[in-house]
Amino acid sequence: MTDSSPAVAPEDASENAFQDAGAAAPDVVQEPRLWHKDGWMARVIKNEDDDGWAVEMIKDGEPEPALVGPWTMGRDKKNPKPLDTSAFNTLVKTASEVLRRHEQQLRALLHKRVGLSTGEGDIDVTLDIVPDEYEPYALLTALDAFGEQIAQVRVAPTFKLTQARAQTWAEGGFGRID
């Protein structure tokens, strides 16, 4: 019985011998229904809502897909169209934008800012909510026109920052808020 596997040229073998065994090669998969490249995985799945197909984009390390959307049927009208470079790149761009918007929305929910004019100059008052699983809290901070911290107090995560409350805090000398 003869071995049909291709022979390895000596220069190929010596080149591989110098590669760092501890360095992980990039995990690139490019199959018709599964692509994994540059920290993203695109997977074509059966659409649970109808007879069609869907594609989900999952960022490495994330438990949930960042994007799930309809996927095109192939020419046979039964199977999905295979993934390709162009489609994968478009899906990565779209999923990245979805994540970016989600992060912006979360930041807007957890960070508020109010500007004040006082006798000592302009002041920014910020409220940063720290959504700790066990003990959430918020930090109310006063910053001068140069961004230097004037005062900071810990408040309840339900504290509502308004222009009037910030003004009252400043007029009271930035003391503790109950």
pLDDT value at position 15?
A: 42
Same domain flag for 54 and 94: yes
Query: Is pTM beyond 0.95 here?
Result: no
pLDDT value at position 26?
A: 58
Structural domain boundaries, residue 158:
110-171
pLDDT digits (tens, 9 = 90+) for 131-152: 888 999 999 999 999 999 999 9
Same domain flag for 143 and 103: no
What share of the chain has pLDDT > 70, as a percent? 85
The β-bridge partners of 122 are 117
The residue ranges of the chain whose pLDDT is under 70 are 1-26, 178
Number of structural domains the chain divides into: 2
**Which of the 8 DSSP states describes residue 6?**
P
Same domain flag for 89 and 127: no
CA–CA gap between residue 26 and residue 143 (Å, rounded): 45
pLDDT value at position 8?
A: 42
Same domain flag for 147 and 91: no
Does 32 fall in a domain?
yes
Same domain flag for 62 and 80: yes
pLDDT value at position 162?
A: 94
